[in-house]
Chain A
Amino acid sequence: MSPSANAAFVADLAQRHLDAAYNLGRWLLGNDQDAADAVHDAFVRALRAAHTYAGGNARAWWLAIVRNSCLAVLATRKRQPALRLVDAPEPADDDEVEANAAAAQAQSRLARHLRALPVEFREALLLREIEDLSYREIADALGVPIGTVMSRLSRGRALLQRSLSGGSGTQTALETKHGL
């Protein structure tokens, strides 16, 4: 339909789901600046691609565009491996300020493990567990079959659970791979 209606639709959509978009970008890219840039880039892409929205869950359509912008940033990083600030592996739990709160410790351990997960598992988990997208919507966002979504979710959950229950071997291996 008319370009101005498309623009208004995308602007409303992006502003409503800006926190979700930023959260996804922040977890995929590991720092504030890249996440904000990727979300803004996604907004510009969404304005240009508004005509590709064909009904259905508009939030899933928007998050898929955000995810693609983030992947573009990751691809640039691979080509130009410059030093950049990514969430460093956090110090061990006994250094935590909230050392008295066991629950807070467990949460920060979970965050560390999620950060250390390979990106294909991390993105599937973020879209399913945090953003509550369906298998079909995740499959469309990632451009993979539903079966692949299911196996990545399953593997991602298993890795997180194993590392949480004290599988330190997995954790160290993943963090080494992820580190600078």
Chain B
Amino acid sequence: MDCKTAASLIEAYLDNELDRADARELEAHLESCAACRAALERLDDLRRRLREPDLRYAAPAALHERIAMSAQATRTSRRSPPAWLRYAAACVIAFGAGGISMRLWHAAESGNALQEQVDRDLFAAHWRALAAASPMDVVSTDQHTVKPWFAGKVPESPLVRDFAAQGFALAGGRIDYVGGGRVPVLVYRHGQHWIDVFVFASGTPMPAAAQVQGYHLVPIQLGNQPAAVVTDMEATELSSLIRLLTTPA
């Protein structure tokens, strides 16, 4: 490779947009050409300086407030009963195994930032899926199709059951990112409502129960794995589904 070709590729290389073959050829040239190396260093230096925090403007508090107020004004008035959280906790203690309620209790007391981040991720993943063209990557009402689809994509394939007869039809599954890891998600449908069941690896701490803008997050035990149900379904319907999910097959 000559310097002219190298110069035409060097920015795409810096931007991580060069295919592997070209990148390798360019790297070979850079090994032997001090001038092109210096050019790359100058570009990298410019980027480093542009990324320094003193060139960034942070959103003023007034703007945060304006956005929060507009968000509040547009959100729908669907509200949950005030007793919901107590109800959810009762649900979990009634249906979860002994150790889980302890962990949940602990999480609720410490309310640590990691736990909150996981909750945020779960709600965001649910909303993202609702806003996307399809909330499923694999569309199937057949548990024998959905379970093998997960195998090979995640280390632990979750327990998959269809509850169509009870009004909660299995719609499919997808993989989502929660707390930086890949998590299998079972998608159920009940009337107009979509229900996501995020299934975590065995031994993962339970997410904390939460609700945001009419959406509920309820931690459950699915087989031997902790899981989180996220939906905008009403409390009574949700508890029926949770009972189905947590009852041994």
- Let me know if B192 and A2 touch, CB within 8 A: yes
> CA separation between A5 and B192, bound complex, in Å?
12
A110-B49, A130-B50, A150-B12 known; A15-B57 Cβ under 8 A: no
Determine chain A's interface SS by DSSP, over half rule: helix
A171: chain B residues within 8 A (beta carbon): none
Query: Which residues in chain B, 1-60, are within 8 Å of chain A measured between CB atoms?
Result: 11-12, 15-17, 42-43, 46-47, 49-52, 54-60
B135: chain A residues within 8 A (beta carbon): 1
CB-defined interface of A5-24 with B at 8 Å, one 1/0 digit per residue? 11111011111101101110
Identify the interface centre among B42, B67, B78: most chain A CB within 10 Å of its CB.
B67
- Let me know if A12 and B123 touch, CB within 8 A: yes
> CA separation between A33 and B165, bound complex, in Å?
57
Please give me the residue from chain B that is nearest to A21 by CB atom: B59
B43: chain A residues within 8 A (beta carbon): 157
Please give me the residue from chain A that is nearest to B133 by CB atom: A54
One of B47, B58, B67, B120 near A40 (C-beta < 8 A): B67
**A32 on the B face (CB < 8 A):** yes
**B249 on the A face (CB < 8 A):** no
Query: Which residues in chain B, 186-230, are within 8 Å of chain A measured between CB atoms?
Result: 192, 194, 212-215
A71: chain B residues within 8 A (beta carbon): none
One of B47, B52, B56, B132 near A53 (C-beta < 8 A): B132
Please give me the residue from chain A that is nearest to B120 by CB atom: A12
- Let me know if B133 and A55 touch, CB within 8 A: yes
**B86 on the A face (CB < 8 A):** no
> CA separation between A70 and B57, bound complex, in Å?
15
Q: Which of B68-76, B98-106, B107-115 contacts A (4 or more CB under 8 A)?
A: B68-76
Interface size of B by CB at 8 A reads 50
B17: chain A residues within 8 A (beta carbon): 134-135
Please give me the residue from chain B that is nearest to A160 by CB atom: B46
- Let me know if B55 and A153 touch, CB within 8 A: no
A12-B123, A110-B55 known; A7-B132 Cβ under 8 A: no
Q: Nearest 8 CB-CB pairs, A to B?
A: A9-B127, A22-B59, A5-B130, A11-B71, A1-B130, A26-B57, A4-B76, A18-B59
Known: A14-B67, A36-B66, A50-B131. 11 other contacts (CB 8 A): A1-B131, A2-B232, A5-B126, A6-B130, A9-B127, A15-B71, A23-B58, A107-B55, A130-B51, A134-B15, A164-B46
Residues of chain B at the chain A interface (Cβ within 8 Å):
11-12, 15-17, 42-43, 46-47, 49-52, 54-60, 62-64, 66-68, 70-71, 74-76, 78, 120, 123-124, 126-128, 130-133, 135, 192, 194, 212-215, 232
30 A-B pairs within 8 Å (CB atoms) are namely: A1-B130, A2-B232, A4-B76, A4-B232, A5-B131, A5-B232, A6-B127, A7-B74, A8-B75, A8-B123, A8-B213, A9-B128, A9-B130, A12-B124, A16-B124, A18-B64, A18-B67, A19-B56, A23-B58, A27-B57, A39-B67, A40-B70, A55-B132, A104-B54, A106-B49, A107-B49, A128-B15, A134-B17, A135-B17, A150-B12
